[in-house]
Amino acid sequence: MIDPKFIIQNPDAVKEAARKKRISFDVDLFIQLDEKRRTLQTQVDEIRAEKNAANEKISNLQGDKKQQAISKMKEKSDEEKQATEELRQTETEWKNLLLTAPGQISPDVPEGKDDTENVELYKVGELPNFKFEPKSHEELGKDLDIIDIERGVKIAGSRNYFLKGDGALLELAVLNFTLHKLAAKGFTAFIPPLLVNEDAMVGTSYFPGGEEQAYAVGVMRPGEQHLESDEKFLIGTSEVSVTSYHSGEILEEKDLPLLYAGISACFRREAGTYGKDTSGLYRVHQFQKVEQVILCKNDLEESTKMHQMILKNAEEVLQDLHLPYRVVAVCSGDMGQGQYYKNDIESWMPSRKNYGETHSCSTFLDFQSRRLNMRYKDKNGKTQFVHTLNNTCIASPRVLIALLEVHQNQDGTITIPEVLRPYMGGKEKLSKGPS
RNA sequence: GGAGAGAUGGCUGAGUGGUCGAAAGCGGCACCCUGCUAAGGUGUUAUGCUGGUUAUACCGGCAUCGAGGGUUCGAAUCCCUCUCUCUCCGCCA
């Protein structure tokens, strides 16, 4: 969330951010609520101050005088109860509204309505020029018996799949290679909880708003027809767990920036995407991802530097894998509520005859850290909210689409990029037969 | 799953209805003293909201002793619910 004072002091900037991001947020209503909240708070405080003063006297009184004073205070107490109730309601309303306020938006963000208006910044790598009719990853996966979508659907429903044999090994190779690369760059690797509580979802700003994209976990009681909620949620990205790692803590400036790399399975309901990307591994309910998470000091210059750094890390991985890609500036309408600036990396996917999103790099400023109450003591001893950033470093199986399709050969084999071979037992090619 | 114990400031740990935002110790910070210096002394040391004011200085009010409710004129202290931690038993990759 943003600083409530910022909304009061810069209503126009907030209105502008909401307009650009196509988020509905009633600034005027918020200001009204804030005034109401403060007035009520003052009232309650005054009543309490009166009571506190009187109570101090009561403890020294005796007999009748004491009884008189006590009965008088009874009335005050009722008065306080009423005022407190009203304050509580207003505060809840205020808080709920505040959670929906848009974060600040960088002046560098292109304005646009959705992902069709993202702006390409640059391209890297040469597109493959096949001398034969290239196959899609689905065909390749089937022919090589390394991807089994049919059986995935049979046992888990649509958008599910098995990776099998070399397919399974290849995914682990890609993840392993990436995680080791980040570790070598000073990142701390994390295997985080996949199930988190609601606070982590709200803290990273997936809730409120993203509830229907997350799987809620429940328990089935014997004899019951329905799940009973256990109030845990499956993460859609390790960003949720890893960014929340230091929630509620006060860090030291000398320890910043913290460079974290989470590796985890990710779960997404993909509600509202019926009919979109229905075939293959592009849009699935479960995938694995190595995610970079940065906590740095509250300084725009610093977080801009970090943004560039984690963007480059992801680009390096794609270059190592010899995959052509492009980097786009995500437009305002395609940005999340809390994101200040965002780049996507899109990898070339021959079967789509287009680039497809494989990475997403976001700077949040203090939007998440305010929700997570995650701060640090700066040089002057003042507590500040950290800045948070995150970027995909690799996400599979989506990246396998590019990997299999780009590196396929006429004979139906796949050339494994050199950097992955150590993680594949030295194998240079994927071909038919047992792995 | 069964039985029990517990949750207090950066840490350890007192505190069972009013003078407790909270003893004491440790740690941190500031200053002072001292030729036996990994010592001694003094002071200081939580956070949030809010008002005086436009301000990270100052002064005041309010809140916060795991969270949320309740009893009471008054709650760290009594009651209820929840969360978490620990011990024992059971189960278990």
A136, A244, A332, A360: which is the annotated catalytic residue?
Answer: A360
Q: How far is the CA of A229 from the C1' of B5 (A)?
A: 29
User: Is residue A370 among the annotated active site residues?
Assistant: no
If DSSP codes are grouped into helix, strand and coil, which group holds residue A275? coil
Answer for A88: CB within 7 Å of strand B: yes
Answer for A41: CB within 7 Å of strand B: yes
- Same domain, residue pair A87 and A164: no
Nucleotide at minimal C1' distance from the A51 CA: B73
Which helix (DSSP H) or strand (DSSP E) does residue A176 occupy?
A: helix A166-184
Q: How far is the CA of A103 from the C1' of B55 (A)?
A: 25
Answer for A382: CB within 7 Å of strand B: yes
Domain assignment present for residue A109? The answer is: no
Give the end of a domain, one of A99, A127, A158. Answer: A99
ipTM for this prediction: 0.83
Domain assignment present for residue A105? The answer is: no
Answer for A283: CB within 7 Å of strand B: no
User: Is residue A37 among the annotated active site residues?
Assistant: no
Spatial contact of A5 and A370, defined as CB atoms under 8 Å apart = no
- Same domain, residue pair A79 and A140: no
Domain assignment present for residue A142? The answer is: yes
- Same domain, residue pair A144 and A232: yes
Answer for A383: CB within 7 Å of strand B: yes
| Parallel, antiparallel or unpaired: strands A387-396 and A414-415 | unpaired
Q: How far is the CA of A49 from the C1' of B20 (A)?
A: 17
- Same domain, residue pair A12 and A150: no
- Same domain, residue pair A310 and A284: yes
Domain assignment present for residue A237? The answer is: yes
Nucleotide at minimal C1' distance from the A382 CA: B56
Nucleotides of B under 7 A from a protein CB: 18-19, 47-51, 56, 61-63, 69, 72-74
Long-range contacts formed by A414-422: CB under 8 A, 24+ apart:
A414/A140, A414/A144, A416/A170, A417/A320, A417/A321, A417/A322, A419/A177, A419/A320, A419/A321, A420/A170, A420/A173, A420/A174, A420/A177, A420/A321
- Same domain, residue pair A163 and A275: yes
Answer for A53: CB within 7 Å of strand B: yes
Domain assignment present for residue A25? The answer is: yes
User: Is residue A352 among the annotated active site residues?
Assistant: no
Domain assignment present for residue A108? The answer is: no
- Same domain, residue pair A274 and A346: yes
Domain that holds residue A169: 115-430
- Same domain, residue pair A215 and A312: yes
Give the end of a domain, one of A49, A73, A99. Answer: A99
- Same domain, residue pair A267 and A362: yes
Q: How confident is the model at residue A79, as a pLDDT? A: 87
Q: How far is the CA of A297 from the C1' of B40 (A)?
A: 40
d(CA A385, CA A387): 7
A159, A268, A370, A375: which is the annotated catalytic residue?
Answer: A268
- Same domain, residue pair A91 and A236: no
Answer for A78: CB within 7 Å of strand B: no
Q: How far is the CA of A89 from the C1' of B74 (A)?
A: 25
Q: How far is the CA of A380 from the C1' of B33 (A)?
A: 29
CATH of the domain at A8: 1.10.287.40
Distance of CA A324 to the CA centre of its chain: 26
Domain assignment present for residue A106? The answer is: no
Q: How confident is the model at residue A434, as a pLDDT? A: 63
Answer for A70: CB within 7 Å of strand B: yes
Structure tokens at A14: 């907030």
Give the end of a domain, one of A48, A67, A99. Answer: A99
The one-digit pLDDT tens for each residue of chain A (435 residues) are 889 999 999 999 999 999 999 999 999 999 999 999 999 999 999 999 898 888 888 877 777 888 888 888 888 888 888 888 888 888 888 999 999 999 999 999 999 999 999 999 999 999 999 999 999 999 999 999 999 999 999 999 999 999 999 999 999 999 999 999 999 999 999 999 999 988 899 999 999 999 999 998 877 766 666 776 677 899 999 999 999 998 888 888 888 899 999 999 999 999 888 777 888 999 999 999 999 999 999 999 999 999 999 999 999 999 999 999 999 999 999 999 999 999 999 999 999 999 999 999 999 999 999 999 888 888 777 788 999 999 999 999 999 999 999 999 999 999 999 999 999 999 999 998 765
* Number of structural domains in chain A: 2
- Same domain, residue pair A169 and A311: yes
CATH of the domain at A361: 3.30.930.10
User: Is residue A268 among the annotated active site residues?
Assistant: yes
Task: Give the pTM.
Answer: 0.92
- Same domain, residue pair A204 and A321: yes
Q: Return the sign of the alpha-carbon dihedral for residues A284, A402, A115, A238.
A: positive
Domain assignment present for residue A421? The answer is: yes
Nucleotide at minimal C1' distance from the A69 CA: B73
